Amino acid sequence: MWKERGEAFVNIHTHRREGEIYILDISDGKESREGELCSYGLHPLYIRGEEQIVQLEVFARESRIVAIGEAGLDRNSEVTMEIQIRWMEQEILLSEKYGLPLIIHCVRAYPELLALYKKFHPRQAWIIHGYNNNKEILGQLLEHGFYISVGKKVFIEQSNISRFLSFIPRNRLFIETDDSDFPLEKVYEETARIREMSLEELKTGVYGNFQQVFGRREV
């Protein structure tokens, strides 16, 4: 059981099996393994329709997932923003109904995302994955209680997340690999370097956040 592993490298969002504790996105049809922590959601670039929502609720009801995601909004999607918002609202309702955090993909749609947060006043954690936007939006997200997950962009010196990483409170930070080839431990090491903290301090903080958000889930 992950609850007995102590402070470990936590990978909050990945499409590969990497990390002592990881949450694997199975939205692309991957088969989950026994005891594996998984997420499933309607990625805004790949929305097909009603069957995805039906599948999502089956997974949620049967406790086959510990989070809903990637859910979200993306202005680069061929799916209209109106439709994206409609499906995102369904995912929010299921998140609240089954007590599942949301792992969120958001591209150029933060006003709409914040509007949804204010509309639903969710009790479940909302985690922005792969954040790489400006300081103003980061401040708004933190003000509303979002968690921020960082990944491969920390290796780009002039990226937004590298510049503003130190502004994320320790109790709101997660680490991920997403679909990148960067080893999880290297993402941790670079994040710790930028934040001027030890690797062990970072691991302890992220693991504590993981326990806070997912500690009540039995898998």
Q: Are residues 114 and 157 in the same domain?
A: no
CA pair distance 111, 23, nearest whole angstrom? 27
pLDDT in tens, 154-188: 999 999 999 999 999 999 999 999 999 999 999 99
Give the residue, 4 or 101, on which the prediction is more confident: 101
Give the per-residue pLDDT at 218. 45
CA pair distance 201, 175, nearest whole angstrom? 13
Q: How confident is the model at residue 217 (pLDDT cuts 50, 70, 90)?
A: low
Coil vs helix vs strand at 77: coil
Residue 129 within a domain = no
Q: How confident is the model at residue 107 (pLDDT cuts 50, 70, 90)?
A: very high
Q: What is the DSSP letter of 160?
A: H
Q: Are residues 173 and 82 in the same domain?
A: no
**What average pLDDT does this structure show over 32-53?**
95
Phi, psi of 169 (to 5 degrees): -60, 150
Q: What is the DSSP letter of 168?
A: S
Q: Are residues 55 and 99 in the same domain?
A: yes
> Given the DSSP bridges, would you call strands 126-128 and 147-150 parallel, antiparallel or unpaired?
parallel
Residue 5 identity (one-letter amino acid): R
Q: Are residues 155 and 79 in the same domain?
A: no
Give the per-residue pLDDT at 1. 43
Give the per-residue pLDDT at 215. 86
* b/e 105-115 (16+ beta carbons within 10 angstroms → b): bbbebbebbbe
**Which residue, chain included where needed, has tokens 């670079």?**
190
Q: Are residues 98 and 164 in the same domain?
A: no
Which residues sit opposite 74 in a β-bridge? 107
pLDDT in tens, 5-34: 557 999 999 999 999 999 999 999 999 999
Phi, psi of 102 (to 5 degrees): -105, 130
CA pair distance 28, 13, nearest whole angstrom? 14
* Binding-site residue positions: 70, 105, 129, 178
pLDDT in tens, 47-85: 998 999 999 999 999 999 999 999 999 999 999 999 999
Give the per-residue pLDDT at 7. 74
Give the per-residue pLDDT at 216. 57
* Binding-site residue positions for a divalent metal cation: 70, 105, 129, 178
Residue 7 within a domain = no
CA pair distance 50, 158, nearest whole angstrom? 41
Q: Which two tokens stand for residue 214?
A: 């997912």
Give the residue, 54 or 4, on which the prediction is more confident: 54
State the Rg of the chain over Cα. 16
Q: Are residues 111 and 157 in the same domain?
A: no
The helix or strand, by DSSP H or E, that contains position 142, with its residue range, turns out to be: helix 135-143
Q: How many domains does the chain have?
A: 2
**What average pLDDT does this structure show over 134-148?**
98
Percent of the chain scored above 90 by pLDDT? 94
The helix or strand, by DSSP H or E, that contains position 40, with its residue range, turns out to be: strand 37-40
Residue 44 identity (one-letter amino acid): P
Tell me, rounded to whole angstroms, the distance of Cα 16 from its chain centroid.
Answer: 15
Average pLDDT, the chain: 95
Domain assignment of residue 86, given as a range: 16-124
